[in-house]
Structure 1
Amino acid sequence: MTDRIARLAGIGFDQGARTIIRGELAALPPGGRLGVAGDHDALLVHLSAWCRKEGHRLEIPPAGTSSVRAWITPGPTAHVRWARAERAGGAGVSGVVSHPPAHWGLAARGALVEPGGPPAPFDLDRKEVVWADLAPALYAQAAARQWDPATAIDWEAGGGLPAEVEAAVVQVMTYLVENEQAALVVPARLLARVHPHFREVMQLLAVQAADEARHIEVFSRRATLHGAELGTSSVGGRASLTSLLAEPDFSLASFLLSVLGEGSFLNLLSFLHRHAPDPVTRRIAELAHQDEARHVAFGVAHLAEQSRRDPAFRGRLRGAIERRHDLLADTAGLNEDVFDALTLLAAGSWSPAAVAEGHAVVQRLQADMFEGRRNRLVRLGFPPDEAAELSALHTRNFM
């Protein structure tokens, strides 16, 4: 039996009858008819108009001969627009296509996309430009490891630091806020340009921006925790960060920010965790480090895939480093107040012997940053000697 009956009782088209009929038609076997049984006074008027619009053939038996008031036979033009529709890839990661069309727009990946509609303004619309196979796993990890500044940090712990040590913490936190504001703007700008078909990358960038917003909150809160005013912001530091905002290319922006800048920040956060003079600063450094490590991991994974596909891509990465170095050649580099603050945190006091040791520790920090950048560049396919050369050209402002 290929016929089905849609039983509407007393509801009309403006009360859900159309939904029932559409559902029954969708389940109708090929060649079948759909009988419509219902008591609403305007049922046949509305049903006739709807069938003409949809391309269905309607037969109305003589009144009183059957409980079925009408029979619908799907016509050859029914749902023509869906016959010409296409799937927006597959719903899972394996269904990601290389170049989703602009008219897919905001359609969910795997959805049946009706033809027509305006093109969406997403210029980052090629898989090789934005994708990394690690992105879905990193997003899942990021979503699972979000933390609340109000509960993850015991803001009452510590306190009572010597005035000069507290001032050093405040200066470092001021510097971190400045850098994290740049680190928020870059992924936020890129996020708005990524085609939603690459949703895991879009989600990961959104979480990255949220991470940076949270870092700005906790660094600012620690800076003012004991009533101090914030420290200094140097022209050279702001110039270095502004140069990150000027890079429109997705891969090069990820390279300069995540692989080089945030990679160096991992060393800085590890330094702060080791030399934090109070539990609040130590906990902040620990939590921020776990977030920044994900940002670096995505940048490295994305760029490593590009480099494997196209060895000439490394030339573009080198060019980005050299252009930024030349742009910042006349700037002063790291804020001296920040350098002195780091030295004091490592030293613990202003005694000459302690300061000498603290200075040496900060020098080792910079050497660790250099080595970390060199190692990541090697992972991207650069020979070790070239990686060392390029690591040395990175901005003295760390980020």
Structure 2
Amino acid sequence: MIVDLGDLGFEQGAHILLQRALGPLRPGDEVGVAGLDPALAMHVEVWCRAKGHHTRRADDNDDGIRVWVTRGRADLDRWMHAERAGGPSPLGIVDAPPAHWGLAARGALVEPGGPPIAADLASRELVWADLAPALYANAAASQWDPATAIAWDAPVDLVPEIERAVVQVMTFLVENEQAALVVPARLLARIHPHFREVLQLLAVQAADEARHVEVFTRRALLTGGEMGTSSVSGRESLATLLREPDFSMASFLLSVLGEGSFLNLLTFIDRNAPDPVTRQVARMARQDEARHVAFGVAHLQHQGTLDRTLLGRLRGAIEQRHETLISSAGLNQDVFDSLVVLAAGEWTPAGIRRGYAAVQQLQAEMDEGRQHRLVRLGFPHDEAAELSALHTRNFM
């Protein structure tokens, strides 16, 4: 076999043609290299030495051949102990990918050696949900632009007291959404890249929360006012979410219980919004939050089939958080009163009574939703009711 490189030099990619010619040969087979580049012979020898092939200079009567290359086996040995990062297809997910696969694409042939990746969440049962690929596809298709999805120029002409109530509720939402952004962002860096659908989903979830922080802040400041209050008890409640190291427990406390309760809160705001902008930001955020809750439930249902101790661990997480927060003041009183004002819609005794009853109904709906999700995870109805009652009064 002869590889005629013409005037192509190795500094222009000639090695690619030589490598192609050597690929199907057996060790010991020989190929001649011809070409016009004055430095060709030297470049071939240097390249072959690096690749484990052998060379000899051609004789003057070798019909234009400059160098003979004998195929070595170093490149074959290099891949002899290589393994696939999963199956040959990207769909080939394994239960426990080794650390030395690092950032290799799933399904790739992994060259031995290289640095291990620091990912302590490297077991499928710790992070997986069969619904994750479909949820990611839905999340990617459902992204929205705050600049265009919300009609920011819609008329907002509220009496000052009502506007302050809206601002306080928005301030509360920002605070909680910042916690909901930090939790998946922290978990993201701990997951083995082999489980890329979970990584992708959590990345979009963090992006969702960042967008929510933006739109809630923008609504709060829309009429030129200042942000509302942030209570110690509210921050204490959210801090317990940030301290939870276990992936499943963090998903449970944040997505299943906290964001699950926020679905009811956002529905309440949508229903009682005094202006179209407030209604829109609540509605757009709710569609994202529903996806986050769906992943949390799907993940825990998946893990429940593998771990018989799961329900006991979930119960323990609720009880421990309750004990931590038992002396806190609960929901910021300014937030509670602002929700009453939004639902009242007027400054009359009858209106305030109606608004107060609406907030109590909201809390009952939150409790009912939490119980429903707990039952889906396998808790008996009476235990689900007991555990739901222990959930933080701060909603999230």
User: So what's the TM-score if we normalise by structure 2?
Assistant: 0.96
1:17 aligns with 2:14: yes
Unaligned runs of 5+ in 1: none
Counterpart residue type for residue 373 of structure 2: R
Alignment match, 1:336 = 333
Alignment match, 2:392 = 395
8 Å contact from structure 1 (residues 54, 79) kept in 2? no
Candidates 173, 187, 211, aligned match of 1:214: 211
1:65 to partner: Cα distance: 2.6
1:133 to partner: Cα distance: 1.0
Counterpart residue type for residue 272 of structure 1: I
Alignment match, 1:116 = 113
1:33 to partner: Cα distance: 4.4
Alignment match, 1:247 = 244
Bigger mean CA deviation after superposition, 316-325 or 38-47: 38-47
Alignment match, 2:381 = 384
Bigger mean CA deviation after superposition, 68-77 or 174-183: 68-77
How many Å separate the matches in 2 of 1:123 and 1:48? Answer: 45
Q: How does 1:89-104 map onto structure 2 within 5 Å?
A: 89-90=86-87, 92=89, 94-104=91-101
1:93 to partner: Cα distance: 5.6
1:197-234 deviation digits (Å, cap 9, x = unpaired): 11111111111111111100000000000011111111
8 Å contact from structure 2 (residues 90, 107) kept in 1? no
Q: 1:53 to 1:30 in 2, by over 3 A?
A: closer
How many Å separate the matches in 1 of 2:90 and 2:376? Answer: 25
Bigger mean CA deviation after superposition, 50-59 or 233-242: 50-59
1:71 to partner: Cα distance: 3.6
1:191 aligns with 2:188: yes
How many Å separate the matches in 2 of 1:33 and 1:261? Answer: 68
Q: How does 1:283-362 map onto structure 2 within 5 Å?
A: 283-362=280-359
1:238 aligns with 2:235: yes
1:46-85 deviation digits (Å, cap 9, x = unpaired): 2123223322233543224323333433223333211221
How many Å separate the matches in 1 of 2:3 and 2:381? Answer: 73
Q: What percentage of residue pairs aligned between the two structures are identical?
A: 66
Counterpart residue type for residue 398 of structure 1: F
Q: 1:21 to 1:269 in 2, by over 3 A?
A: same
How many Å separate the matches in 2 of 1:21 and 1:230? Answer: 68
8 Å contact from structure 1 (residues 177, 220) kept in 2? yes
How many Å separate the matches in 1 of 2:250 and 2:68? Answer: 62
1:10-54 deviation digits (Å, cap 9, x = unpaired): 222222112222233335589864432211111111212322332
Q: 1:362 to 1:71 in 2, by over 3 A?
A: same
Candidates 265, 276, 279, aligned match of 1:279: 276
Counterpart residue type for residue 16 of structure 2: T
Bigger mean CA deviation after superposition, 8-17 or 126-135: 8-17
How many Å separate the matches in 2 of 1:38 and 1:346? Answer: 84
User: So what's the TM-score if we normalise by structure 1?
Assistant: 0.95
Bigger mean CA deviation after superposition, 15-24 or 358-367: 15-24
8 Å contact from structure 2 (residues 27, 73) kept in 1? no
Alignment match, 2:152 = 155
1:179 to partner: Cα distance: 0.2
1:398 aligned counterpart, secondary structure: coil
Alignment match, 1:52 = 49
How many Å separate the matches in 2 of 1:216 and 1:71? Answer: 66
1:66 aligns with 2:25: no
1:81-124 deviation digits (Å, cap 9, x = unpaired): 11221111136563111111111111111111111112111111
Counterpart residue type for residue 374 of structure 2: L
Q: 1:169 to 1:93 in 2, by over 3 A?
A: farther
Q: How many residues are aligned here?
A: 396
Q: CA RMSD in A?
A: 1.6
Counterpart residue type for residue 42 of structure 1: A
1:225 aligns with 2:222: yes
1:203 aligns with 2:200: yes
1:258 aligns with 2:255: yes
1:95 aligned counterpart, secondary structure: coil
1:309 aligned counterpart, secondary structure: coil
Q: How does 1:160-179 map onto structure 2 within 5 Å?
A: 160-179=157-176
Bigger mean CA deviation after superposition, 251-260 or 50-59: 50-59
Q: 1:331 to 1:104 in 2, by over 3 A?
A: same
Q: 1:381 to 1:30 in 2, by over 3 A?
A: farther
8 Å contact from structure 1 (residues 269, 286) kept in 2? yes
Q: 1:68 to 1:283 in 2, by over 3 A?
A: same
Q: 1:82 to 1:339 in 2, by over 3 A?
A: same
Counterpart residue type for residue 112 of structure 1: L
Unaligned runs of 5+ in 2: none
How many Å separate the matches in 2 of 1:105 and 1:76? Answer: 26
Counterpart residue type for residue 121 of structure 1: A
8 Å contact from structure 2 (residues 51, 75) kept in 1? yes
